[in-house]
Structure 1
């Protein structure tokens, strides 16, 4: 059942899609990068630290691409359910996704670290 489409649905969708697009762009950048990408702000990863830079970057690309998907889905979902429900799901994805991202990145780093 489609809810009444108000400005709040469009604003919610737009914000979700912008966030999803940013994370997707990070994934594309990771996939295309020749140098090892970094996860932590202000840090760098030396090519000497990584055993297979291409595989390391592809794993990071998958990480960020998968993280972007819920943002696109919640943006669309906001048109079909109450904006409050979509907002709650967004908070769950944001807050719950951060430790998952950190854990997944640490596994990737450990796998490819020399």
Structure 2
């Protein structure tokens, strides 16, 4: 039981960070950027509100995979939670990049 809680705490912290980024994105007035150190200019995006909403949903969905990982670890087996967490951190990150590029191209002015 102790190892499950030790796994769950950092995974839930990651989930909170990603979901917070999603909420921040949805509420942001200027276009949300994806890459660290870059900005997306307002004139580069055709519909800022819809662009930010899709970005927010993307981040909230990604954060939810970490919640799923923590819950699977806590309620079933820690190995299942670890596998879901590992897939979220590796394959999920690659999917996140592709989804962001799709969103950017969709709203690119």
TM-score exceeds 0.5: yes
Matching residue of 1:80: 75
Matching residue of 1:60: 55
2:79 aligned with 1:105: no
Native 8 Å contact 2:23 2:56 kept in 1? yes
* 1:18-97 map, 5 Å: 18-97=13-92
Name the CA distance, whole Å, in 1 between partners of 2:61 and 2:75: 22
The number of equivalent residue pairs is 109
1:16-53 deviation per Cα after TM superposition (whole angstroms, max 9, x unaligned): 11111000000000000001010011100000100110
Query: Post-superposition shift, 1:105?
Result: 0.4
| Structure ranking higher on relative contact order (CA contacts 8 Å, 6+ apart) | 1
Unaligned 5+ runs, structure 2: none
Q: Which consecutive segments of 4 or more residues in structure 1 shift more than 6 A?
A: none
Unaligned 5+ runs, structure 1: none
1:30-85 deviation per Cα after TM superposition (whole angstroms, max 9, x unaligned): 00000101001110000010011000000100100111111111111112233233
Q: Secondary structure at the match of 1:79?
A: helix
For the pair shown, the structure with the greater C-alpha radius of gyration is 1
Please provide the CA RMSD for this pair.
1.0
Query: Post-superposition shift, 1:87?
Result: 1.3
Q: 2:4 aligns with which of 4, 9, 20?
A: 9
TM-score normalised according to structure 2 size? 0.95
Q: As a proportion of its length, which structure holds more helix?
A: 2
